[in-house]
Structures are given as structure tokens and as C-alpha cells.
Structure 1
């Protein structure tokens, strides 16, 4: 069975099942296990130097690669199920929609829901700020939670997707410019940037093609290059134009306001639950296009 066919089936399983509580209340989720591995390396190796950070990154990549290779020997069913667990389409949409539901109940509920998916300060957010945060998270996580893992499974099978998830987890835990992690987390952050380079642009392209905004690709690219992240700006810029809204802009982290550039600045800024729901709907449309393309690629490989 080809990687394309296994990936297409895994995408369907993930969309149908998501992350069932009955399973992950009994077993540790792979993301939890990866987080524990990163935390163990942090405790053992972190002397705040880049060299030790590189060693930690190599250990993660090697360990994930070996584990993926061993699991792949168990057959295509295990590969499909493992890939489905490592994708995050349904859970992403569920978390994004929860913010819209929360906002309809009241601003405090919306702030609480969005705090589950973003790292910025949420206590003083206005309704438009909550909505922007949820939609930005939707765009960014469509890239690094769905398209990127799918891309690396397509190229490298189970070892490829596990390596990507290990690096992405490390970046989310130690890839920060703080005294403890600025040097030690440098390798994880740069490797994560590298592994997301192509998938982030594919995600933006899928959003633009799906919504008929491909004619604004130059604007998308210009905004993406002004973004604080070398990759997250691409899906965010595409999402902003697809919904005709402004994203990013000033926001607070750890009590400090940062004056960040707007994405699609002329777009609508007074947004709320309706725009969050529109973003969630768009996530499914992009997923559908990607899944059909993957299964078509599998069929083409079978015919050839």
C-alpha cells in the first residue's frame, strides 16, 4: 500500500474519529509522550548552549525515526491508525468552533475557550480580539497540525510524520527567546521553521485556490513576509483574504503589548462568532480538497 493511499485513509479516519475521550482518558496521547521526551531532554541536557540544543534535536529526530520505522513493520493498518492519531483536523475544528460557541454565551466564555488554543494574554481581550485569535490559530494549525504532518507522511511514511511531530512539539516547548531557551531551543526552532517551510505555503495555496482568492497571491505573499513568523504568516494572510478580515495586529504576551503588523489591514476588524464559524467551514473545505488530491495521487500511482 502506498503512502498516498494510507495518508488518504488516515485523513478520513481522523475526520471521522478525531480524538475520542474514551481512548485518551485511558492511554497517554502520543503528543503527551513526545512532550515528556522533550521535557526529559530539557532536564538532562539544557545548559543554555546551542551545542546541547543541537544534541537534543538530533536525539529527538533519531528516536522518532527509529520508532516510526519499527511501527511501520507492523503493517499498513497500524501506519494508517498512527497517522490518523498524529493528524488534528477534527480536533482543530472542534476547538475553533468552541470559541464561537463561547462568544455567543458571553465574552468571558469566549476568552476562556480561546485561552485553550493560544498562548497570548486573553483576560482583557475584546470580542474581535478573541475572534481574531481563534481564526489565526485555525489558519496556523491547519498548516502545522494537518497539512505539514500529512506532507511529511506522504514523503517519509510513519518515520517522516513522527519526526515532524517530535520537532514541532519541541519547538512549542523550548523554541522561545527566553534566558533558559534562547540558545538551547535554537536548533528545535530553526528545524521546525525548515520542516514547515513548504507545508505553510501549500496551506496558503489551498486556502487561496479553495476560496477563489488566488488572484491576490502577491498580496498574500507580501503580508506573509512581514509576519513575525517565517511560516505562520502564509496561511494567516490567505485566511484573512478568504474571509475579507484583518488578522494579527497588536496583542499582549506575558503582560507586555507588542505592536505587530496587521495582516490584510484594510479588511474588516469588527468580527465575532460568525467569522469564526466561517473559518471553521473553510478548514473543512481545504481538508476536502487535500484529501481528494491525496486519494487521486494514490489512484494515479496505482494506474501507473
Structure 2
């Protein structure tokens, strides 16, 4: 089977099954194993002096190891490639986690806070309903790129080796890629490499959202607002999603008890958000997934 054909099957398998709890409650998910490995490296090497060098060497070792493991798994045949890709692409899981926030919010503000706390790293204890909805939708947009389009893109480009390289890098960034006293030096390489390998996927994600919602003419404005984001990549899907739904995203939020005054994305959009807007974002996730799957199908027709 061609790489595109395997990817189509993986996308469909993930959309159908997601992450079965009966399986991952019995054995560790590969992402959990990656996290455990990175956590061990952080504890073992993030000490003393030369932490930036140690972090770079750690990231290099993790990257080489993931490439070698991916190459070894690929030798086992296309079924192994398909199953591995389906496990590491998280479309259905993302939609379920985001939709859970809408469900919680329909019951009460507190249940909405509890649900959104599972998918964002900001403070949630004082969030009102619009802040909860914005947080969920921002997470949906960013993770659409990080969790679906980016791993699928790198699998399409380089099979399992590049897929595993992407996942270990993205996991490392989520764990140690922070500008904190503990990780600013040790996590520098992981954060910078994650920025690099998400440059194309983030912009591709924005394009895939823009196409079905007729937003291509707004690309210059989307680009301008994306560049205001603290991340060089996350602003692209976020700015496009905000326009697809006609809402304002981002804005002030609190981390570790400190309010940070981030600018709004699509500031002229509606700011009074609720569960219905989260559900609209979930529909947008599936629409974008459909456009991407159709694109991969077209590549398969041309024997990619």
C-alpha cells in the first residue's frame, strides 16, 4: 500500500474507534510511554550547569531513537504502520474532549470548568461561561494542528520515522518546553524544534479550515493576527477558527494566579460564548478532518 492509502485508512480507523478505554486502561498508550521517557530524562539530566546543552543532547537522542524505532516498525509491514498511525492521530479523542466541555457547561458553570481543566493549562477556577467556551475552542483549534494535521502530514512525508519524530518532539515541548526557571534552558531545544516542525502543518491547518468556510480572502488579516500570538504557529488555526465561527478568541487569561493580558483574536467577533459555540467548533473539527481526508484521497489517486 502507498503511504497515502495507509494514512486514509488510519484516519478512518481513528475516526471510527478513537482511543478505546478498554485497551488503554490495560496497557500504556504510546504517548504515555513517551511522556514517561521524557519525564525520566528531565529528572536525570536537568540538573547542574550546561542545562541548555544537556537538553539539546537529550532532544537529539530522543529524535534519533524515534527515527530508528519508526524505521524498525515500518519493516513489519503496512498493517503495523496503519495501526501505529491510527493510534497517534487523535481526531475522535479531541472532539470527545472538547464536546465534554459543552456537555458540562450545559449542566453548570462548575462542570464546564471541571471539563475544560482537562484540556487547558490555564487557571480555570474563576472562569465564567464565555471564558470556558473560548478556552475549549482555542484548545480545539491548536490541537487540530498538533494532534491531527501535523502528525498526519509528517507521516505522509516520511512514514512512521517522521511521525514518531514529530510525536516525541511535540510531547517533549508540552512537558519541558516552558520558559520557567526549571525548563527555560533544558527545554529550549525541544521548544525550538517543535516550533520548526509545526511551521508548515499550522499554516496547512489554517488553510484547511479556511477552505470550507470561504475564508481565503481573509488570509492577510489572519496572517496579521497569527503573528500577534505568543506562539509562531498556534495563532494560525486559532485566528482562522475564530473567523469560521464568527467569534473572538484568546484575550486575557490567568496562569498560576497571574493575569496575562493577551490580545483578542478576531476582536470584532462575538464574545458572549456558550456551549453551542463549542459544539460548532466540534463540527468545524470534523469538517476540516473531511477536507484533509479528501486531500489525502486525491494524493492516493495520483499514486503518491
For the aligned pair, the TM-score class normalised by the smaller chain equals over 0.9
Equivalences for residues 123-162 of structure 1 within 5 A: 123-162=125-164
Q: 1:90 aligns with which of 89, 92, 101?
A: 92
Partners of 1:272 and 1:259 lie apart in 2 by 22
Q: Unmatched 5+ residue regions in structure 2?
A: none
Specify the SS of the correspondent of 2:259: strand
Corresponding position of 1:45:
45
Equivalences for residues 1-304 of structure 1 within 5 A: 1-47=1-47, 49-301=51-303
Partners of 1:163 and 1:130 lie apart in 2 by 33
Specify the SS of the correspondent of 1:83: helix
Specify the SS of the correspondent of 2:184: coil
TM superposition shift of 1:50: 0.8
RMSD: 0.8
Specify the SS of the correspondent of 2:254: strand
Q: Can you list the C-alpha shifts for 1:98-145, whole angstroms capped at 9, x where unaligned? A: 000000000000000000000000000010000000000000000000
Partners of 2:279 and 2:132 lie apart in 1 by 13
TM superposition shift of 1:210: 1.4
Specify the SS of the correspondent of 1:276: helix
Answer with 221-230 or 209-218: which moved more.
209-218
Partners of 1:193 and 1:214 lie apart in 2 by 24
Partners of 1:296 and 1:6 lie apart in 2 by 13
> After TM superposition, what 4+ stretches of structure 1 lie above 4 angstroms from structure 2?
none
Partners of 2:131 and 2:273 lie apart in 1 by 8
Partners of 2:302 and 2:276 lie apart in 1 by 39
Q: Unmatched 5+ residue regions in structure 1?
A: none
Partners of 1:95 and 1:215 lie apart in 2 by 31
Partners of 2:294 and 2:178 lie apart in 1 by 37
Partners of 2:53 and 2:192 lie apart in 1 by 14
Specify the SS of the correspondent of 2:233: coil
